[in-house]
Structure 1
Amino acid sequence: MLRIDEATLRGAGIRPTRQRLTIGRLIEDGGSRHLTPDSLHQEALTQGMRLSLATVYNTLNEFAAAGLVKRVPMGERSWFCTNTAEHHHFYHEATGRIEDIPGCQPQVMGLPDAPEGMEVAGIDVIVRLRRAS
């Protein structure tokens, strides 16, 4: 279970402010969770928490840089996943929902060599789904 508390933030080199701890509590739940800054901001407002959208964006990006959550780029929109293990995602085009692909490590064939002095840091696979016709 993901736990973002004062000790976790300090261990990641992040100052544990009230806002960061609040956002950490919001994203904790027993399993893998997929969030956008907008959805998390709305969740905070619904629970009566006063956080600006900019604070939510900045904090999620900071958590991702520290490895506490994983950024899942989806075009112009970024999602954040609480499952930081290597894994890939299904994206449901009709609903905009994203979910982990369970127990699957797709093989990427024909990957070009990285430019000199560089190495591949990771590969994000997002499988887009729609209803079969």
Structure 2
Amino acid sequence: MSLLGYSTEGLERILVYDYMPQGTLSRHLFQWKNFKLEPLSLKRRLDIALDVARGMEYLHTLAHQSFKHRDLKSSNILLADDFRAKVSDFGLVKLLPDGGKSIMAQVVGMFGYVTPEYAGHYLFSLYILWT
């Protein structure tokens, strides 16, 4: 998502992005009945997945600097009026060194959503601690 503005007044820190009227992808996948929404069609789901893949490709390889998001999940995917998806919540983003490779130093994010590489490292670390 493009950053439109920010405020650092006093102790408040605010980032301003485009308004995404359809809310989060998780709302449409898991809470659609509560919000009286129609379930997403297969075509719409595929279009959303492609938008997310394009966003991640940009972050990983096409931007001037490469980044690792580290917290990609349905609640961090926002949907515009036309259901175009944008990746949001860059609180755990990590700048990758030149060449785009990084060595994992610590596990971040929620366990249910971390990448398989992190999850494997996390489980291996727990195994070592308990044995």
Query: Fold conserved (TM > 0.5)?
Result: no
Say which structure is richer in helix: 2
User: TM-score, structure 1 length as denominator?
Assistant: 0.31
User: TM-score, structure 2 length as denominator?
Assistant: 0.32
